[in-house]
Structures are given as C-alpha cells and as structure tokens.
C-alpha cells in the first residue's frame, strides 16, 4: 500500500471542494466581494449601502422559496446552532417533540432538554441512516426535525404534523412546525406553507460563510414569539430571554434590513450573489434538479462499484445535497482521503461522530455535476493504485 498516488491531471475535477459545510464558494461570489471592496466592505451596517444588500437577500429568498403572504424573514448572528437556543427561548412554549436521527437533530433536542423552563421533550428517534418524524402528542406545542440530516445524508419529508390543539395561557392554540433546513435550503424543494419556521445557515447550499442564521417565520410563529417574550418580562416569570436570543428583536431589526449586532458584511455580499445566481438560473426547481442529478451520479456509482454502497438503504430517503457512501473495509477511507487531499480534492470525509468507513460528498448547487463525475473517477483511480 502506498500513500503517494498522483492522480493524472485529466481526471481531476476543475474544483476540488466537496465539503458539506463550509462548502464550495463560487469564483463569481469572490469577484463580487472584491468589486464591492470600497463601497460596502468596511462600511456601516446601519447605512443604506449594506441595508440594500440585506433587502436584496430578503427579496431573493422570498422569490426562491415562494414565501407565502404573511410570512417574514428574520436573521441574526450565530448560525443555526444559535437559532436552536433562540427557538428554546422564544418558540417552544412548554414542550416540544423532536425527530432525532443524527447529530444535528440530536443537538437541537438536547438544547430543549437542557432549558430549565421547558418540560422534557418527547423524542422520536430512529437508527442512523433512516429518519423519524415526531408524532402527534398531547401537550406538545412545537414539532421539530431536520429536512436534511447532514451527519448521515438522510432526507426527511416536510409536512405539518397534525397534532392535538394546546391552548395554555393564551398562547396560540396550534402547535408550531419548526424545520431545520440548514443543509437542504436552496438545494431541495420545500413547501414553506407546511412549516411555521424554516431556518438555515448559508455555508451549505448558499455557498457562503457561516456565522449567521436565517429563519422564515409564519404569522403563528411570530405571534408565539411575541407572546412568550411578553410573558417572560412579567414579575416572577420562570423564563429569561436574553437580547441575543430574542426572536422579536431579531425580526424588528430584519424588518429594517439590519441585525441586532454587527454582522459580517462580506458574507452578505456572498449570500446575495448566490441567491441571485440561483434565481437567475431557474430558482429552486433548477437547483433541486441540479443537486439531484449530482446525487444520482454518486449513488449510481456506489451501487455499481464493488467496494462501495450507499449508506442510506431506502432510495427515497437518500439526500440530494449530502451523499453518504460506505466503503468496503478492504479500502481505508482515511488513506483515500489523504491521497485525495494531496491531489487538491478536499472535505469528503464522513461525519466525525459517525465513526464509519465512509465518504460524505456535498453536492450543493455550486458544485458542477461534471466535477462530481470527475471526483468519482479519481476515487476509482486512487482505490486501484493505493
């Protein structure tokens, strides 16, 4: 066995970035950043030039997702991980139910389990490589799961859970549907009307950098946050909503095309460029088709070659944005990864917490399907030569 394999130039992808987040950033996004270097970068996020970029992002997201009337977009610093704590502070009234089927769905459920003012959540879990949606449950006021579980490459449906109605203390009497769209948003079609909250960070399908979250909020979600935050201000309230975790403050700022505190202005430029690129090419239908083509190339390959197979057994549940492939134990993925990296192909390792001999390939919209083909040819070459 050798760790030094030089992949012939003609087999290499044009771009070797296949990460599941951070993911490939297109050259045009970077060019736009340098084009805007003097007028936007290094200027105040409270002034018109930066606010125009935020307005354009909101407008672009409205178009991309076909956001229903009455829904609003909020954003803030901290990424989806921060949004989990915000959801515990401002959206879950007392008790949530979670679909748990991987590291990301588990982390949000853990946030709720650790919030001292919430009841213990109800967990519907299922083995890695499958999904479980939360089931209608008495007393539950929020149903939470992920559209795409990035740790395992599992895609779950997004549709409202018809639950029993709860009406404690004047809180709106229907349960909220809160969906983590972090690694699906922009890559996989979604009907926003089936959710009350669809949230994501931009370092996956939006090919930008992390550190910020976006949430598309239904009128019921906005009303829920208003009521919970009002109640938390009363004398003797059990709940503390820090400013940084206040969804109503985030929304108030978003309405003014701003954020509560200083954002990464450069990231806004990257995000805005990507959303315009997606919309100009045909929107979510286009990107969904493109990602699904790339994903099929990976899954078809894994079913064809003797040393690999798709990790997710049910073809319907296989992700079209993050493809996970189990490798035969005869092939050391660590060795393959090392050789690929020497040849400029990066970040196709499995999720660290999964501990499997696995490749995980981000096939977000920015990735060219022909580069996915090239990547697999490179893997074939490495396996044959190491």
Ligand X SMILES: *Cc1c(COP(=O)(O)O)cnc(C)c1O
Max Cα distance, the chain (Å): 70
Q: How far is the CB of 87 from ligand X (least distance, A)?
A: 12
Question: Using CB under 6 A, which of the segments 61-69, 89-97, 175-183, 369-377 binds ligand X?
Answer: 175-183
* C-alpha span between 340 and 379 (Å, rounded): 8
Taking CB under 6 A as the criterion, which residues in 192-211 touch ligand X? 201, 210
* C-alpha span between 159 and 147 (Å, rounded): 10
**Site size toward ligand X, by CB under 6 A:** 12
* C-alpha span between 37 and 42 (Å, rounded): 8
* Residue sitting closest to ligand X (CB): 79
State the DSSP code for 119: P
For the stretch 338-349, what's the b/e string if a residue is b when 16 or more beta carbons lie within 10 angstroms of its beta carbon? bbbeebebebbb
Cβ distance to ligand X smaller for residue 202 or 310? 202
Question: Using CB under 6 A, which of the segments 162-170, 179-187, 189-197, 230-238 binds ligand X?
Answer: 179-187
Does 104 engage in binding with ligand X (CB under 6 A)? Answer: yes
Question: Using CB under 6 A, which of the segments 28-36, 55-63, 73-81, 299-307 binds ligand X?
Answer: 73-81
Cβ distance to ligand X smaller for residue 45 or 360? 360
Does 80 engage in binding with ligand X (CB under 6 A)? Answer: yes
Q: How far is the CB of 326 from ligand X (least distance, A)?
A: 20
Tokens of 258: 């701003």
Taking CB under 6 A as the criterion, which residues in 237-276 touch ligand X? none
Taking CB under 6 A as the criterion, which residues in 150-169 touch ligand X? 150
Does 364 engage in binding with ligand X (CB under 6 A)? Answer: no
Q: How far is the CB of 215 from ligand X (least distance, A)?
A: 12
Are the beta carbons of 72 and 222 closer than 8 angstroms?
Answer: yes
Cis omega before residue 22 (within 30°)? yes
Does 180 engage in binding with ligand X (CB under 6 A)? Answer: yes
- Closest by CA to 333, choosing from 302, 312, 303, is 302
Are the beta carbons of 171 and 269 closer than 8 angstroms?
Answer: no
State the DSSP code for 67: P
Residues that bind ligand X (CB under 6 A): 21, 79-81, 104, 146, 150, 180, 182-183, 201, 210
């Amino acid at each position: 066995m050798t760790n030094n394999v030089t992949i012939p130039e003609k087999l290499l992808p044009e771009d070797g970035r296949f990460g599941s987040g951070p993911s490939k950033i297109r050259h045009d996004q970077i060019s736009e950043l340098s084009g805007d270097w003097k007028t936007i970068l290094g200027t105040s996020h409270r002034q018109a030039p930066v606010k125009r970029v935020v307005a354009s992002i909101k407008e672009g997201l409205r178009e991309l997702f076909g956001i229903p009337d009455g829904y609003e977009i909020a954003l803030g610093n901290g990424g989806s991980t921060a949004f989990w704590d915000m959801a515990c502070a401002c959206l879950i009234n007392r008790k949530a139910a979670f679909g748990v089927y991987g590291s990301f769905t588990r982390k949000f459920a853990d946030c709720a389990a650790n919030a001292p003012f919430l009841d213990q959540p109800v967990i519907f879990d299922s083995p890695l490589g499958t999904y479980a949606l939360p089931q209608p449950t008495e007393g539950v006021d929020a149903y939470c799961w992920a559209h795409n579980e990035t740790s395992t490459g599992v895609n779950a449906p997004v549709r409202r859970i018809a639950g029993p109605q709860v009406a404690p203390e004047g809180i709106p009497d229907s349960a909220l549907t809160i969906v983590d769209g972090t690694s699906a948003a922009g890559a996989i079609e979604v009907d926003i009307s089936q959710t009350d909250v669809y949230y994501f960070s931009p370092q996956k399908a939006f090919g930008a950098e992390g550190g910020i979250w976006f949430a598309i909020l239904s009128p019921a979600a906005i009303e829920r946050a208003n009521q919970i935050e009002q109640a938390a201000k009363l004398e003797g309230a059990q709940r503390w909503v820090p400013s940084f975790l206040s969804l109503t403050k985030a929304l108030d700022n978003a309405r003014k095309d701003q954020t509560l505190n200083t954002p990464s202005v450069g990231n806004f430029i990257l995000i805005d460029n990507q959303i315009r690129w997606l919309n100009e090419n045909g929107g979510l239908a286009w990107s969904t088709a493109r990602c699904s083509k790339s994903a099929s190339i990976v899954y078809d390959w894994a079913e064809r070659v003797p040393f690999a197979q798709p990790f997710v057994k049910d073809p319907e549940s296989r992700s079209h944005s993050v493809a996970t492939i189990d490798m035969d134990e005869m092939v050391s993925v660590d060795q393959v990864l090392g050789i690929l990296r020497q040849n400029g192909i990066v970040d196709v390792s499995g999720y660290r917490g999964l501990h499997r001999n696995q490749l995980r390939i981000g096939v977000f919209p920015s990735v060219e399907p022909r580069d996915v083909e090239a990547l697999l040819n490179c893997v074939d070459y490495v396996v044959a030569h190491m």
